[in-house]
Homo-oligomer: A and B are copies of this chain.
């Protein structure tokens, strides 16, 4: 019989990986709770009418569709049956699909439950999503997203708190990061000023290369993208923008002075920096970066992105504000702002930097070796006391060879082994062996418990 496998792009998580992942999620959840975010969960399956059209044409192709139960050909006309067009077919034979992200289900949740919710609604959600992407290194077809969003509050205090959350989460992880920040309104302002509203993406991509290809390289590239010389001239102050965040804001206030939208963006950034100045300085770097344009299709205000300083890897967290989050489901006027932690990449960073704290791995602390029936009977009440004291302890389930039992402790990274044979039973004591040092000590049950 062939060795069974799992679908490509999916993963099993071993106990060791799970303890690491749990450490990541617990750390993030603890911080979310401190800031008043509350967890929800939505079903893995959503109606395809909820999902399609929300991620662009490419996204629609990447949805996993679930075949209707019963006869999947019901509802297809004879012509449709003869056509064998996979798209027409899927539209009729599949009513449900797997969620593609957490944002659309969240918008659906807010609209569906809006009469039960109190706004602003601060929710977080940690669940897997599925995408029929071509699997490749670091890209999976099933992966967890870890999102926090506030909906129904236009206040920039939310942006401030989300920055504090990102700072606190990475401080707890011990990952040194820079938070890059931009504002869609500033990008719109720049496009207004140079008269190229449709070319925001080209602009940001080009500006982003100025470190590598220099200003003249950037200008050449913009020319090939069809920008007029006048537009390129107007763009120079933005390419040249440098200095501290405050210096950048001052310069932007000047260069964007004729764009109402642009100035609004500058004011939003100023508000955020003003508020952050009231708190202990962030551990993370915080940088205004005009080249940051992620998710440009839907962000309308703040745009965030976090990069690790000590590991070469893409962004490990991102987010922004999107006005009209729920507009796609017919409820207008609810603004949202949120961030999404990239659990898989954070996992990689913590692994590469070996940053898991010692106590985060919840494997057993103590293994009692099993010498046979009499010892089992003797050990059961002791095990009970040890566990009642909160110590994670195991009794090897059968009187296997000593070597096998010790290998079990080794493999499970159990740091202490208790040997209780005839002698120890007679004395009512436990021979505790430190698996790392090999050191042994004879302890009373009280001493054993006190030891942990």
Give me the interface of A with B, judged by CB distance under 8 Å: 1-7, 10-15, 18-19, 22, 33-36, 38-47, 49-50, 61-62, 64-67, 69-73, 81, 84, 86, 89-90, 93-96, 98, 108-109, 111-113, 116, 118, 120, 122-123, 128, 130, 132, 141-142, 150, 153-155, 157-158, 160-161, 164, 274-275, 278-280, 329-330, 362-364, 367, 370, 376-378, 380-381, 384, 387, 390-395, 397-398, 407-408, 411-412
Q: Which partner residue on chain B sits nearest A94 by CB separation?
A: B67
Pair A381/B278 contact, Cβ less than 8 Å: yes
Pair A44/B44 contact, Cβ less than 8 Å: yes
Q: Which residues of B contact A72 (CB under 8 A)?
A: 86, 89-90
Q: Which residues of B contact A150 (CB under 8 A)?
A: 397
Pair B41/A4 contact, Cβ less than 8 Å: no
Instruction: Knowing A18-B40, A42-B6, A153-B398 are in contact, say whether A112-B71 is a contact too (CB < 8 A).
Output: no
For the complex, give the distance between the alpha carbons of A116 and B120 in Å.
48
Q: Which residues of B contact A62 (CB under 8 A)?
A: 69
Closest Cβ of chain B to A161, distance in Å, is 8
Pair A10/B394 contact, Cβ less than 8 Å: no
Q: Which partner residue on chain B sits nearest A67 by CB separation?
A: B65
Pair A6/B86 contact, Cβ less than 8 Å: no
* Main SS at interface, chain A: mixed
For the complex, give the distance between the alpha carbons of A158 and B34 in Å.
40
Known pairs A7-B45, A43-B142; list 19 more (Cβ under 8 Å). A4-B112, A5-B112, A6-B43, A10-B43, A12-B113, A14-B116, A35-B392, A44-B142, A45-B142, A64-B66, A67-B67, A67-B93, A69-B132, A72-B86, A73-B86, A118-B408, A157-B398, A158-B397, A278-B377
For the complex, give the distance between the alpha carbons of A381 and B411 in Å.
47
Pair B95/A71 contact, Cβ less than 8 Å: no
Closest Cβ of chain B to A158, distance in Å, is 5
What 5 A-B pairs have minimum CB-CB distances, sorted nearest first?
Answer: A1-B330, A15-B38, A36-B394, A10-B43, A118-B411
Q: List 6 A-B contacts (CB under 8 A).
A: A6-B112, A12-B41, A12-B43, A38-B363, A72-B86, A279-B380
Closest Cβ of chain B to A420, distance in Å, is 14
Q: Which residues of B contact A49 (CB under 8 A)?
A: 4
Instruction: Knowing A66-B66, A67-B65, A157-B376 are in contact, say whether A381-B39 is a contact too (CB < 8 A).
Output: no
Q: Which residues of B contact A378 (CB under 8 A)?
A: 278
Pair A153/B64 contact, Cβ less than 8 Å: no
Q: Which partner residue on chain B sits nearest A131 by CB separation?
A: B69
Q: Which residues of B contact A10 (CB under 8 A)?
A: 43-45
Pair A44/B128 contact, Cβ less than 8 Å: yes
